[in-house]
Chains A and B, each alone.
Chain A
């Protein structure tokens, strides 16, 4: 995905067991922070037709 030009911080992979609630919170917070820092994704967004 990075090779195609998607920002590295926009896509995250993690392995979290159902018992690892603290890790889940940590990972989600970290991802949210990083994605917020990048701002909304303006590329790869399809413009829908204005008239239905």
Chain B
């Protein structure tokens, strides 16, 4: 994927020079290793700021809502599915977008690399299947790329963009032999009390910074329910009940919409895997309605349609 950078710059430059778009959304190098940041380019000469590597885990669909200009956006598989969701939910118009598809081979889990590495990381590079970590004391380490992928990327079955106007590279092979719901099933097998304790422990470190919400492309409400004060749905403090309510409700708001892009978990400063909540909803949607969010523009979402044969065993 490292080789995409030249092509990314080239496409961005061309689109701006030909005035096909007013702005390009991509990634530039962050100030720290493994922390690429979103980058908004308006002039063709700035296109060289763009990069593409295994640290572009942020979901760029997040930056498309509430904009009027014509935008080109670089989209991985998950980003493209969130763009489809945005279009279905009328948050962006298809004709205002130029979607540049980026076939993805997974993003690097920055926490995993940092925890496996002793010493200070100076830079992280990669080649076809290795991640090369350079340390500040001059040493260097190599990891197999597949071993340090983000949890969601390792289990991803939609690496290729589902909607695009042009592609940065040839489509990649999709993974087929993955068990996507192993961790959810493990929780489902616990009893009620174990599950309650599990989530209590999982969410206990949360500091209510709302980074997960802000990183999520689905969370575009002008006023989030946690910020609302009339009525105040939720306490503002560090009460564990409020923390859990926030995470549970946020997950519910993503039901049938979440693409498991992993932006929430990536953004979390304390490393909470809140994907365990959204993944359960994703699994239920898939098992009950054969629905996967953002795969096509032609179908209404699972929670937006009614069929007489919908599963309804829970209604008495």
Q: Report A's interface with B, CB cutoff 8 A.
A: 2-8, 12-15, 27, 30, 43-47
Contacts and interface: CB of A to CB of B under 8 A. Distances in A.
B280 interface: yes
B280 A5 contact: no
Interface stretch (B5-13, B107-115, B236-244, B260-268): B236-244
A3 to B, nearest CB: 5
B176 interface: no
A3 B280 contact: yes
A15 B239 CA distance: 35
Given A13-B314, A13-B316, A46-B235, A5 B241 contact: no
B304 interface: no
A4 B248 contact: yes
Interface of A is mostly: loop
Given A45-B241, A46-B235, A46-B239, A5 B316 contact: no
Interface residues on B, range: 20 to 34
Given A5-B195, A6-B192, A15 B241 contact: no
A9 B315 CA distance: 13
Nearest to A46: B241
B196 A14 contact: no
